[in-house]
Amino acid sequence: MKRVEKVFGRGIVAAAALFAMAGAAGLAQAQETLKIGLLASLEGPFAAPGQDGMRGADLALKEKKGMAGGKKIEFVKVSSDATPDKAVNSTRKAVEQDKVQIMIGPLSGDEGIAVKNYAKTQPNVTFINGSAGAQAATLQDPAPNFYRFNTEGAQWMVGLGEHALSKGYKRTFLIAEDYGFPYSQVQGFMASYCAKGGKVVDKAWVPLGTKDYASVIAKIPKNVDALVVVLGGSDAVNFLTQYEQAGGDKPMIGGSITVDQTVLNFKGKRRESLLGTASAGPMADSIDTPEWKKFVADYKASFKDGFPSPSLFAYLYYINTKATLDALDAVKGDLSNNQKAYREALQKTNFKGPAGDVKIDANRNGVGTTYITEVSKAPDGSFYNKVVKSVPNISQTLGLSEAEFKKMGMGTRDVPDCRT
């Protein structure tokens, strides 16, 4: 009898131990959730682009079935209004209060520079860009823990200057928002445009969020062939609407976000006059590859409230988020030792994205293809950017030698210049 009791007692102990182990395993499994911060501008002039950026990130995570590196991924979503201060404050909340170990974002140029600078104060956190395209985020005083898998604003405009000249646009007038990303875009356009004989007779720099363009429209000279417009979101829509109402009829050359999907679907007569508008960027609505077609189909199936085709912002947040998750898979979720192995995996990450190969250089900045496009109308009446030509392997020196690029300098309000 005692032997039975002894065996029975041992059985209870063993069962209890197994139960405890199972409970501990279950607890450990429950803790295997990795929080990743996700910042986009959901307020202000870039609210619509920000929403589509979030869609792109969500799509990348959906493709991974919500997992990466063997862990369940939870996005901690925070919002900005396209200003540097708000971007940093929202990022700080995600990092310092929500304790995210990886941060994706932000959306716009000066936000990117500000978040890059904040990243230097958080060496144990890895920061991956969302869609910000200012050169200085990676080219000037870079942060070793800030990665940008997309190319930047100047790279996006390479080749557009030559295309504008081929259309007979020898004299142009520039309207652009007054911050880092448009400086980069303007440089990418003007570098070759000026070198090959084009003239930008004057520039009108406007604050982000400008609502009244009357004084700018009044300054447009009559003897120019076209306008170079580097505005985005509601700024672009406001200018286009007011230019139409003022009877404006000059053809336009658009920045990468001036005629993307977040703007092309605005209502108004001026919308029809956008047909044929030349632009350039790291993607185009009519890319004819299986990867792009799948991306568009998945986007449409996943987001019934989205645009007719993914915007530039959806695409950029998608590739940056995919890179984030792919690198986690490569190290099996290991973020130890100040994320050393993870960052090495990020540096090596490359894949065939919807618009071409995705890879980064020694400055942790994307090198990729630029697409020259013109606005066209689809059979269903929607507008899209049709590929005219592509320019592969564009680095941050814009096809120039390092010496030539250094001589020109980074894009600013006054660099480059070819007024006369």
**CATH T-level fold of 31-150+290-367:** Rossmann fold (3.40.50)
The pLDDT score that the predictor gives to residue 368 is 97
The pLDDT score that the predictor gives to residue 265 is 76
**CB 365, CB 396: distance < 8 Å:** yes
155-287+369-408 under CATH 1.20.1250.20, yes or no: no
**CB 116, CB 124: distance < 8 Å:** no
Dihedral angle over CA of 319, 60, 34, 126, nearest 10: 10
Residue-wise pLDDT tens digits, 33-78:
999 999 999 999 999 999 999 999 999 999 999 999 999 999 999 9
Residue-wise pLDDT tens digits, 227-269:
999 999 999 999 999 999 999 999 999 999 999 998 987 776 6
Name the residue with tokens 């059985």. 11
The pLDDT score that the predictor gives to residue 266 is 74
The pLDDT score that the predictor gives to residue 269 is 66
Give all strands (DSSP E) within 247-354, no chain letters. Answer: 252-254, 278-281, 351-353
- The DSSP line for 193-207 is HHHTT-EEEEEEEE-
Q: At 47, which helix (H) or strand (E)?
A: helix 47-63
| Confidence band, pLDDT 50/70/90 cuts, at residue 23 | very low
**CB 309, CB 285: distance < 8 Å:** yes
d(CA 229, CA 252): 7
Mean pLDDT of 162-180: 98
**CB 354, CB 371: distance < 8 Å:** no
pTM across the whole model: 0.91
Q: At 292, which helix (H) or strand (E)?
A: helix 290-302
Count of helices and strands (H, E) across the chain: 15, 15
The pLDDT score that the predictor gives to residue 180 is 95
Looking at every residue in the chain, the average pLDDT score rounds to: 92
Of all residues in the chain, the percent with pLDDT exceeding 70 is: 92
| Confidence band, pLDDT 50/70/90 cuts, at residue 135 | very high
Residue-wise pLDDT tens digits, 371-399:
999 999 999 999 999 999 999 999 999 98
d(CA 349, CA 327): 6
- Nearest 5°: the CA angle 237, 171, 135 is 60
Q: Let me know how long the chain is.
A: 420
Strands 278-281 and 351-353: unpaired
For the chain, give every domain's residue range.
31-150+290-367, 155-287+369-408
d(CA 280, CA 387): 9
Residue-wise pLDDT tens digits, 136-161:
999 999 999 999 999 999 999 999 99
Same fold for the domain at 31-150+290-367 and the one at 155-287+369-408?
yes
How many CA atoms does the CB half-sphere of 295 hold within 13 Å? Answer: 30
| Confidence band, pLDDT 50/70/90 cuts, at residue 271 | confident
Q: Which of 84-88, 168-172, 263-267 has the lowest mean pLDDT?
A: 263-267
**230: its two tokens:** 């580097």
Cβ neighbors of 191 (< 8 A, separation 6 or more) are 154, 158, 161, 398, 400, 408, 416
Residue-wise pLDDT tens digits, 330-356:
999 999 999 999 999 999 999 999 999
DSSP H helical segments within 132-269, as ranges? 136-139, 160-166, 180-195, 214-219, 233-245, 261-264
The pLDDT score that the predictor gives to residue 272 is 83
